[in-house]
Amino acid sequence: MNLELYKSFYYIAQYGSISKAADHLYITQPAVSRSIRQLEDELGCTLFSRTPKGVKLTPEGEILYQYIDQAFNFISTAESKIKTVKNLLDGEVRIGVSDTLCKNYLIPYLKLFNTLHPKIKIRVICPTTPGIISLLKAGKIDFGLINMPYHDDQLVFKKIMTTQDCFVVGEKYRYLSNKRMPLSEIVKFPLLLLEKNSNSRLYIDQYFKDNSVSVEPDFELGNIDLLIQFAKYDFGIACVIRNFIEEELEKGRLYEVKPIEAIPPRAIGAVWLKDVPLSIAANELIAQLDDGEISEI
């Protein structure tokens, strides 16, 4: 049935007057009367009886009003809830992000977001990129942060930060940082790379392939923090994201080994399902991460 008919019924019952209901609904009295006649025809009963002061509910009308009143209260509650969420006074954001990106990039933004919107709950899960994509497609997170490039027609990507991979060493191999070296010479030293299931490892493997260099890493580690520590302790040359080790380089705890064949820059991207609208809170957090344009890949 038409919800407008029930609105007319509800407000007539509220005010005990057809004219007052019409004023509230900003329609004419005849239009309200027609709505009630139509509703009574469809229900097969009389809902109001006339009195000298207006109208009152019949027994059948009383039964209907009990449920309609409850329904309109639920609608009012829902509207209030939506306003609360819209004003970021309630809600939840679920994020998938790697340990490295969470530690080195996301946490300061979460602190800012939490300061501005303390009522919004934040849940952070830290799997690998394939795990983030699986969680997205299962509806268990709102969006993820991943190292790009990544290709999937079901997803929307937004670039939020340009990153630069680099090779670094500790004190033992410091001399390698004195001049640019051919990549073919760099890989002759002990090499420290991320595990093969990571998006970053796929990217650097493609870089080696594009430069016709074959590699067999001496160590494959689970995250960039471990690569940094292993490089500091002179296990070899580690491939890490330069953006996250600026302080280590400035203070001389690590040294950059620069290949003649430069590693192409890439990016961190926010990613979410193409056909699933983001919540207001998730949109707000992504907007704080960056104001770049959304692009579908």
pLDDT at 185 (0 to 100): 96
Which residues of the chain, if any, have pLDDT below 50?
Answer: 291-297
pLDDT at 297 (0 to 100): 38
pLDDT at 53 (0 to 100): 85
Whole-number Å distance between alpha carbons of 55 and 28: 17
pLDDT at 1 (0 to 100): 58
**Domains along the chain?**
3-84 (1.10.10.10), 92-154+274-295 (3.40.190.10), 165-264 (3.40.190.10)
105-131 pLDDT per residue, tens? 999 999 999 999 999 999 999 988 889
Ranges assigned E (strand) in the chain: 48-51, 54-57, 92-97, 121-125, 143-148, 155-163, 165-169, 191-194, 219-221, 237-241, 255-257, 266-273, 294-295
pLDDT at 296 (0 to 100): 42
